[in-house]
Amino acid sequence: MTNLQVLSLILVGSKKLNDLSAKQAAGLAQAGLIGIASDGKFAVTPKGQRAVTRFAKTRRQAFVNGQVAQALAELPVGKPFRHRGLWLRMGQAAFTRSEVLDGLKAAREEGAVQSLKLSNNNFQIVWFTGDKIVVAETEEVAAAAK
């Protein structure tokens, strides 16, 4: 198990600091993730708290990226869409807007989706799968945003 996985178990309460092996305790202490509190007992440091938060966020984003990829597979090739439409389709309550947008950006880096900025306004960005976008539908999407 990695240091962050062990630390996550400690923070959730599944594992106690006193139950750590010497190797685990040394690794966490050297990384500055655990230390000795004012009462003389081992405790998770603020650095450890932040590391676990980042770790959880990274794992959540990897899950969301997979969900975005599944949702993109269901869309017709070349048809423009806005990220808000995809977010609503995926379930607005299940994911945040920024998670879906980051998932789209990750899909764009992999080449699964492309984006087209219609103007200098960030709200004029349309996304599409495939190599070519259907131009007539893009104009309809842009007109609906005005």
Q: Is 14 helix (H, G, I), strand (E, B) or coil?
A: coil
| CA-closest candidate to residue 104, choices 131, 83, 124, 122 | 83
Which of 76-80, 124-128, 133-137, 142-146 shows the lowest per-residue confidence on average (mean pLDDT)?
A: 142-146
pLDDT tops 70 at residue 140 = no
Q: Rounded distance, CA 134 to CA 142, Å?
A: 13
Strands 125-129, 42-44: pairing kind:
unpaired
Among candidate residues 74, 13, 55, 12, the one with its CA nearest the CA of residue 86: 74
* Beta bridge pairs of residue 44: 34
- Coil, strand, or helix at residue 45? coil
Instruction: Show contacts of 7-16: CB within 8 Å, 24+ apart.
Output: 7/33, 7/34, 7/44, 7/48, 7/51, 7/52, 8/52, 8/55, 8/56, 10/34, 10/44, 11/44, 11/49, 11/52
Tell me: the pLDDT tens digits for 26-63? 888 898 988 888 888 888 999 999 999 999 999 999 99
The full set of domains in the chain, from first to last, is 3-44 (no CATH), 64-145 (1.10.10.10)
